[in-house]
Amino acid sequence: MPAIEIPSGYTREDWLTYVQRGRRILRAKSASNFEMGDMLNEMLDGQPRGGGEITRITELFAKQIRSKGSTLVKYRYVARAWPVEHRRSDVPWSVHEGLAGLPNRFQLIREEPSDELDPRELGVWHYDAVRRARRGLPEVPATSTERIDTAKRLLRDTHEAAEAVTQLADRTEVLKRAIEDPGFRRAIRDANRDRSQRLEEEAKAQWETPASCPPPSRSAGTESETKPSVSYRESPSSVLKILGQCTTFCVSMQNAVVLAQEELLTTEEEEAVLDSVKKVRAVCDWCEHVVTTGQTDMDDELARLLGGGEGDQL
């Protein structure tokens, strides 16, 4: 049986006295609400239904006792849902109201844990307990699952959720714990792959139509003097294709390398990457040789490195 927490500034005896008084007040209010609901059922059960007669009588009665019709309807509904033998005088009326629509309400109201002011161990019900019973989230989450579910409910907006994850990344211990989860690592890899693919597609779209690419600006000063420029309208398609391939490669590799820094590469993966970079460097040297000499010959060392000659994949 859990003990009642005593806040600072109160003696145990004084605080327990206040709690007992508060519970008595709630019981008195609950009794009066049930009394009103029972009376309404007594008044209206014998009246003909249909044609809005019940509603008309309820509204008239509410006006004459200076109450609201909707409030009286609620009292009547809860009183009907809870026969006298199933009500608990030590449980607030609001709890009975919250449980009224549940088919197992009679069992639920008997099962709530007790506390030290409940010597008969009838159980202590409160608003959050009702929300849990109705499979809802409590106002004050008490467990890890409830706190996480509450955070997910509050962060339904994608941008806000992403910002929250970004800020949590400042806590190194959080990332270290999260990275141990296989599902989290898989989600990060999938997100990185999708981002890399999107960046590659954007770079490809930029260069696949030569006519749509603006010529280098001649107002760039020093930049126009140090970088060679070509006419995108007059240059052969093969030249434009080479320029486009080189640009796409540079953009893609920059993005891929940055993404690779965020991964936990194994020794084998690192060696495979370096081997591929070595092959790319050799191909670039060969391309430079072909362009400057017009000869497509390939020495034995390069052919061996590329795996058997021209046309092989890296």
Three-state helix/strand/coil letters over 183-199:
HHHHHHHHHHHHHHHHH
Q: What is the mean pLDDT of the chain?
A: 75
* Tokens describing residue 46: 């014998």
Specify the higher pLDDT residue, 12 or 80: 80
- Enumerate the H helices of 52-181 as residue ranges: 53-64, 69-81, 93-99, 105-111, 127-133, 144-154, 158-168, 172-178
Mean pLDDT of 111-129: 56
Choice among 39-53, 54-68, 112-126, 252-266 with the minimum mean pLDDT: 112-126
pLDDT on residue 263: 63
262 pLDDT band (50/70/90 cuts)?
low
pLDDT on residue 80: 94
Question: What phi and psi values does residue 7 have, to the nearest 5 degrees?
Answer: -70, 160
Mean pLDDT of 187-201: 77
Contact 60, 124 (CB under 8 A): no
Mean pLDDT of 285-290: 83
pLDDT on residue 6: 84
* Tokens describing residue 274: 């370096």
Round to whole Å and give the CA distance between 16 and 62: 38
Mean pLDDT of 126-147: 60
Mean pLDDT: which of 6-15, 30-39, 112-121 is highest? 30-39
* Tokens describing residue 221: 């000063």
Percentage of the chain exceeding pLDDT 70: 71
Q: Which of 33, 115, 46 is nearest to 78 (CA)?
A: 33
122 pLDDT band (50/70/90 cuts)?
very low
| H or E stretch at 26 | helix 12-44
127 pLDDT band (50/70/90 cuts)?
low
Full DSSP string of 54-82: HHHHHHHHHHHTT--HHHHHHHHHHHHHS
pLDDT on residue 78: 93
Percentage of the chain exceeding pLDDT 90: 10
- Residue 136 is which amino acid? G
Judge whether residue 308 has pLDDT over 70.
no
Judge whether residue 312 has pLDDT over 50.
no
Q: What is the pLDDT of residues 57-100, one digit of tens each?
A: 899 999 999 889 999 999 999 999 999 999 988 778 888 888 88
Round to whole Å and give the CA distance between 15 and 11: 6
Choice among 34-38, 154-158, 189-193, 218-222 with the minimum mean pLDDT: 218-222
39 pLDDT band (50/70/90 cuts)?
very high
pLDDT on residue 223: 46
Q: What is the pLDDT of residues 156-192, one digit of tens each?
A: 788 888 888 888 878 888 888 888 888 888 888 788 7
User: Residue 213, SS3?
Assistant: coil
Contact 114, 103 (CB under 8 A): no
Mean pLDDT of 278-285: 85
